[in-house]
Amino acid sequence: MTAPRPAGPPWPDPIVELRDVRFSYGDRPAVDGASLAARQGEFVGLLGPNGAGKSTLVRLVAGLLAPSGGTVRLAGVDPHAAPRRTVARLCALVPQEPRLDWPFTVREAVMMGRAAHQGLLALADRFDAGAVAGALAACDLDHLAARRVDALSGGERRRVFFARALAQEPRVLLLDEPTAFLDLAHQVAAMEMARVAARGGLAVVAVLHDLNLAAAACDRLVVMAAGRVVAEGRPDEVLTATLVREVWGIPVWRGENGTTGAPVVLPTVVGPRKTGPR
């Protein structure tokens, strides 16, 4: 299945293509015949309940896993078979819980994103310095560049790893739950950074759990359940009360944001608030 071109400007051909992909952890299927496409300049949100196969699909795109069936292509190459240096120049992954094992400064951590562009001695040149400076500025980290990453707040650390991915200068940006453990302000900031990256020409694919943030920020949504893609399209097409009830197993109220027109879904399983004296 090839995803239809979303409405809007002329979109290029897909740079990420998965066709009928399968993958299992032992005897437990995680991805079962899923297909996905993403184009440069497009922000795709990957939704679904826990265990739907979303993170596994992202790891397949990054070449960290090899499918047991189907095909995965990243700019026309097999990301699992291609040299890691080649894949790193095409694709950057920000995992669910990025970690650094040593007390690097913010600037040093972001410079790590340049490894795929550097020689054996990993000596930074003016192009590396320029890419790091641009990534620090884009993520509002200039004032923290000399601070140690382990001294930062959770939201600040998330921005550091996002900046490291941008410094990598990939064509595809993969984000695995970029808003996890963040407060509302930092969730919005993370989604805005992803939108800006897509408008700058990257193909952005993000695993997300907040349906309303995804609907507000993404160009296209892909919904997975039990390892399969069950719906895809524009947020207003995909996020229906019927689909949410079928996939997540809860009834919801579905409306629209009065300011942006984006769909809004709210669970209705919680009883009505009681009024009157306490």
Tell me the β-bridge partners of 231. 223
Tell me the β-bridge partners of 19. 71
What spatial distance separates the first Cα and last Cα of the chain, rounded to whole Å? 56
Mean pLDDT, rounded, for 52-59: 96
Higher-confidence residue of 14 and 117: namely 14
Q: What are the pLDDT digits (tens) for 155-207?
A: 888 889 999 999 999 999 999 998 887 888 888 888 998 999 999 999 999 99
pLDDT at 120: 64
Confidence of residue 105 (pLDDT cuts 50, 70, 90): very high
pLDDT at 275: 58
Q: Which residues of 75-93 are buried (b: 16+ CB within 10 A; e: fewer)?
A: beeebbebeeebbbbbbbb
Pair 248, 276: CB distance under 8 Å: no
Output the 3-class SS for 193-221: HHHHHHHCCCEEEEECCCHHHHHHHCCEE
DSSP state of 113: G
CA distance 43 to 205: 6
Confidence of residue 126 (pLDDT cuts 50, 70, 90): confident
Q: % helix / strand / coil in the chain, to the nearest 5? A: 35, 25, 40
pTM of the predicted model over 0.85: yes
Tell me the β-bridge partners of 25. 28
Higher-confidence residue of 97 and 53: namely 53
Mean pLDDT, rounded, for 59-88: 95
Q: What are the pLDDT digits (tens) for 228-259?
A: 999 999 999 999 999 999 999 999 999 999 88
CA distance 134 to 32: 40
Confidence of residue 2 (pLDDT cuts 50, 70, 90): very low
Q: Any idea which residue has 């919680």 for tokens?
A: 270
Answer whether residue 9 shows pLDDT above 80. no
CA distance 191 to 68: 32
pLDDT at 102: 77
pLDDT at 258: 87
Tally Cβ neighbours within 10 Å of residue 119.
7
CA distance 111 to 196: 21
Confidence of residue 115 (pLDDT cuts 50, 70, 90): confident
pLDDT at 213: 94
Closest Cα to residue 22, out of 46, 50, 53?
53
Long-range contacts at 195-202 (CB < 8 A, ≥ 24 apart): 195/43, 196/138, 197/43, 197/166, 197/173, 198/41, 198/42, 198/43, 199/41, 201/40, 201/41, 201/171, 202/40, 202/41, 202/170, 202/171, 202/172, 202/173
Mean pLDDT, rounded, for 141-155: 89
Tokens read off for 62: 């990054």
Tell me the β-bridge partners of 16. 38, 74
Coil, strand or helix: which one is 79?
coil
Answer whether residue 113 shows pLDDT above 60. yes
Angle at the Cα of 148 from the Cα atoms of 145 and 150, rounded to 5 degrees = 135
